[in-house]
């Protein structure tokens, strides 16, 4: 082999090694997960912080989310009125892998998180809707929450035959529909979702977000009426007028007091499932007891 060819071969090897090192150093997670205090609705600062999930949802993002929370749980369970309150999660994702999205959605449901979607931070569509629908309190600007038929991330399909891919897709479709029914999302919304291909986003209107899906899941709303004297008529006047004196802070504080212990217990169990030490997991929340 000539010296010129030898030099070219060595150069090619160097380039390949550089690319391998570069790709290996990059995060395998698509979701950007960080804390912020910028309002997703108006852009100005808000009191306290929220956790924003931004970008495509891919396999591995659930564990990534758990690690972010584990590193600083006191930022996740925010301070409110001198005590601990449920987390706020802002969604700005075009969707992605349905299987991973449902895992994240169940976490959001388990910690009774408030979930917000606003025009400032970005829209929530596709598989992201499952996370939005799982919130204990759901706020979104009309036209920022979109739905269409869920899909499997290509990474999960890489080694599957056509028949295996079909079986996986059908199984996940069943899980997706069942989960939305579990959340008591109206059948009309579910049917609209499954009627549209992954390239056909349907953006939910004010009536669909606020009247059909609702600010709270039906069970949680009834729980607050029964245990915390929530007056929906007063709350509706608050939303229509913006009169802060109508906001029932006592009902919100009551609900928080009832749900936060369960939320912490749920999160600790999720930590333990991923191999965290049980004692260390509980110690994460000791200052908050």
Q: The tokens of 5 are what?
A: 């060819």
Given this model, what pLDDT does residue 152 score?
74
Q: The tokens of 199 are what?
A: 């390239």
Residues 216, 212: Cα–Cα separation, whole Å: 11
Pairing of strands 124-125, 145-147: parallel
End-to-end CA distance of the chain: 73
Orientation of helix 249-273 relative to helix 61-71, angle to 10°? 110
Question: Can you give the CATH number for the domain in which 257 is found?
Answer: 3.90.226.10
State the residue range of the domain holding 71. Answer: 3-288
Residues 133, 209: Cα–Cα separation, whole Å: 10
Q: Could you give phi then psi for residue 148, rounded to 5 degrees?
A: -165, 175
Question: Which residue shows structure tokens 């609209």?
Answer: 192
Residues 87, 289: Cα–Cα separation, whole Å: 16
Which parts of the chain sit beneath pLDDT 70?
A: 1-29, 80-82, 238-239, 242-248, 286-289
Residues 103, 127: Cα–Cα separation, whole Å: 11
Number of domains in the chain: 1
Orientation of helix 162-182 relative to helix 187-194, angle to 10°? 160
Non-local CB neighbours of 119 within 8 Å, separated by 6+ positions: 40, 41, 141, 143, 144
Question: Which residue shows structure tokens 């629908």?
Answer: 133
Given this model, what pLDDT does residue 9 score?
42
Tell me, letter by letter, the H, E, C secondary structure of the chain: CCHHHHHHHHHHHHHHHHHHHHHHHCCCCCCEEEEEEECCCCCCEEEEEEEEEECCECCCHHHHHHHHHHHCHHHHCCEECCEECCCEEEEECCCEEHHHHHHHHHHHHHCCCEEEECCCCCCEECCHHHHHHCCCEEEECCCCEEECCCECCHHHHCCCCHHHHHHHHHHHHHHHHHHHHHCCCCHHHHHHHHCCCCCCCEECCHHHHHHHHCCCCHHHHHHHHHHHCCCHHHHHHHHHHCCHHHCCHHHHHHHHHHHHHHHHHHHHHHHHHCCCCHHHHHHCCHHHC
Summarised one tens digit per residue, pLDDT across range 176-213 is 999 999 999 999 999 999 999 888 999 999 999 998 99
Summarised one tens digit per residue, pLDDT across range 107-143 is 999 999 999 999 999 999 999 999 999 999 999 999 9
Given this model, what pLDDT does residue 6 score?
47
């Amino acid at each position: 082999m000539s010296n010129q060819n030898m030099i070219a071969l060595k150069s090619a090897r160097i380039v390949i090694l550089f690319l391998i090192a570069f790709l290996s150093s990059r995060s395998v997670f698509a979701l950007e997960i960080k804390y912020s205090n910028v309002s997703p609705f108006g852009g100005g600062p808000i009191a306290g912080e929220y956790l924003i999930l931004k970008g495509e949802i891919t396999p591995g993002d659930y564990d990534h989310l758990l690690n972010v929370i584990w590193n600083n749980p006191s930022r996740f369970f925010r301070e409110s009125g001198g005590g601990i309150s449920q987390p706020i999660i802002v969604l700005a994702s075009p969707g992605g892998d349905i299987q991973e999205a449902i895992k994240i959605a169940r976490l959001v449901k388990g910690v009774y998180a408030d979930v917000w979607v606003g025009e400032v931070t970005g829209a929530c569509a596709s598989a992201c809707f499952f996370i939005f629908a799982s919130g204990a309190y759901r706020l979104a600007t009309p036209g920022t929450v979109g739905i269409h038929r869920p899909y499997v991330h290509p990474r999960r399909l890489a080694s599957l035959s056509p028949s295996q891919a079909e079986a996986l897709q059908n199984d996940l479709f069943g899980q997706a529909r069942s989960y939305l029914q579990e959340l008591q999302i109206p059948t009309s919304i579910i049917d609209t979702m499954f009627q549209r291909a992954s390239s056909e986003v349907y953006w939910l209107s004010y009536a669909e977000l606020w009247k059909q899906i609702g600010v709270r899941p039906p069970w949680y709303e009834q729980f607050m009426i029964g245990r915390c004297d929530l007056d929906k008529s007063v709350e509706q006047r608050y939303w229509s007028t913006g009169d802060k004196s109508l906001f029932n802070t006592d009902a919100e504080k009551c609900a928080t007091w009832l749900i936060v212990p369960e939320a912490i217990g749920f999160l600790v169990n999720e930590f333990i499932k991923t191999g965290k030490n049980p004692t260390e997991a509980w110690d994460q929340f000791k200052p908050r007891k």
